[in-house]
Amino acid sequence: MPGKTLLWDQTLFRRGELFEFDHVPEHFAHRDSQFKSLIFGVRPALQGMRPLNMLCVGPPGTGKTTAVRKAFEELCEHASGVITAHVNCQASQTRYTIFSQIFHSLIGHAPPTSGVSFKKILDEIAKYLVGNEKILIVALDDINYLFHEKEADNVLYSLLRAHETHPGTKIGVIAILSDDSLSYVFDPKVGSIFLPEEILFPRYAWDEIKSILSDRAKLGFYPGVLSPDVLDVIVDYTSEAGDLRVGIDLLKRSALNAEERADTSISEDDVRLAYKKSRMLHLSRMIASLGSGEQAILIILAKRAEAKEQAGKEGGGKEVVKTEQTAGDLYAAFHESTGLGYTRFHAMLHKLATLRLIDAEIATEGVHGRSRRITLKYGFGDVLGAMQPRSL
């Protein structure tokens, strides 16, 4: 049943900023234990001591960044001697650019773009901290992007050993790892001093997603905009994606679709239309976060599915083309493309399945025992379209 007509100068959004990804909610639900662990870890800084180093681990869209930002907000309110810096390692992937971001957080402007060495930037950071009697806590968000070329070791070593070359410097690190299947080993000189407290962030359950999105909708929309039934549709889509950010984006896009129709309430059709765009945004973001090995697996699966469909069309077949691959066949192509071994391949399959980009089902039939069938959860055209260009 259609809703009332929305006038040209009216909107469904009471507080539109609540539907932005970087919004830090006033009430942070369903992450009480994780938040308490973060506060416990930073508490020593309130007494002038170095905070505990921490490692927040979990899939994308599980509240890691929000929890850290929330903890930083509380620190800024109650600890004048503590200063924080949040660095997006997907955007800054070298030691120099990361320390430039830290410099900007402390000093208020970026260092000169040329002619300034890394040592000079570190010297200025340490000088600022000691001179102003500040303790620095750095959040390295998506630190998984730094594990190539051991850049994570370089960054952590420079941060955590700064007190040796700059006496009086106190720095703690919160690393945020959006890849719970990543096998990482720190350099001994880093591992001996990093020693992080690990905080796990599991995926949100269906009822938790509903609670969070319902609260966001009540605060962000005017009354009557979102019905319980339509909310459930959004929750279903979000649960399937496994990423809370999909749900927040769906709320925003669905409301915009309703406004375009000049309707005062969101319909299920508004949600379905929004999901087509939100789904591709989610896919592009997920693929962009992958390493070259995981992307290679997706490309192989997508291109083989594309070839099968093309062969079916040329043969005049009308049957639906199956896109699954056996793990053995897929590994052979993967190894030929990347040169990587089966252990790495197996870990990458697990990661892709965890991110819900593929299905990896056990097939019991066959003379060689059990094997796995690997299937893309997205259409091959969607995967190839969202893929960043890479040479295989």
Nearest-angstrom CA–CA distance, 24 and 67:
9
- Bridge partner residues of 200 (DSSP): 57
Q: Which two tokens stand for residue 51?
A: 């905070």
Name which of 43, 44, 92, 33 is nearest 67 in CA terms. 33
List the CATH code of the domain at 292-386.
Answer: 1.10.10.10
pLDDT of residue 319: 44
Q: Is 362 helix (H, G, I), strand (E, B) or coil?
A: strand
Nearest-angstrom CA–CA distance, 172 and 144:
18
The backbone torsions φ and ψ at residue 117, rounded to the nearest 5 degrees and listed phi first, read -80, 165
In the chain, where the domains are located: 16-20+205-288, 32-200, 292-386
Tell me if 283 sits within 8 A of 386, measured CB to CB: yes
List the CATH code of the domain at 32-200.
Answer: 3.40.50.300
pLDDT of residue 160: 95
Q: Which two tokens stand for residue 135?
A: 């303790």
Indicate the residue type of 149: E
pLDDT of residue 309: 84
Nearest-angstrom CA–CA distance, 381 and 385:
6
pLDDT of residue 236: 97
pLDDT of residue 308: 85
β-bridge pairing 371-376 and 325-326 = antiparallel
Nearest-angstrom CA–CA distance, 321 and 318:
9
pLDDT of residue 114: 74
pLDDT in tens, the chain (392 residues): 456 788 888 999 999 999 998 898 988 899 999 999 999 999 999 999 999 999 999 988 899 999 999 999 988 888 889 999 999 998 898 999 999 999 999 999 988 877 789 999 999 999 999 999 999 999 999 998 888 667 999 999 999 999 999 999 999 999 999 876 666 778 888 888 999 999 999 999 999 999 999 999 999 999 999 999 999 999 999 998 888 999 999 999 999 999 999 999 999 999 999 998 888 877 887 888 788 899 999 999 999 988 888 887 776 554 444 456 888 899 999 999 999 999 889 888 888 887 788 988 765 554 445 567 898 988 888 898 888 554 33
Nearest-angstrom CA–CA distance, 255 and 253:
5
Rg of the chain on CA atoms, in Å: 24
pLDDT of residue 1: 41
pLDDT of residue 197: 95
pLDDT of residue 183: 62
Query: Within 10 Å of residue 96's Cβ, how many Cβ atoms?
Result: 15
Token pair 């969202």 is found at 386
What DSSP element (H or E) covers 316? none
Q: Which CATH number fits domain 16-20+205-288: 1.10.3720.10, 3.30.70.260, 1.10.10.60, 1.10.8.60?
A: 1.10.8.60
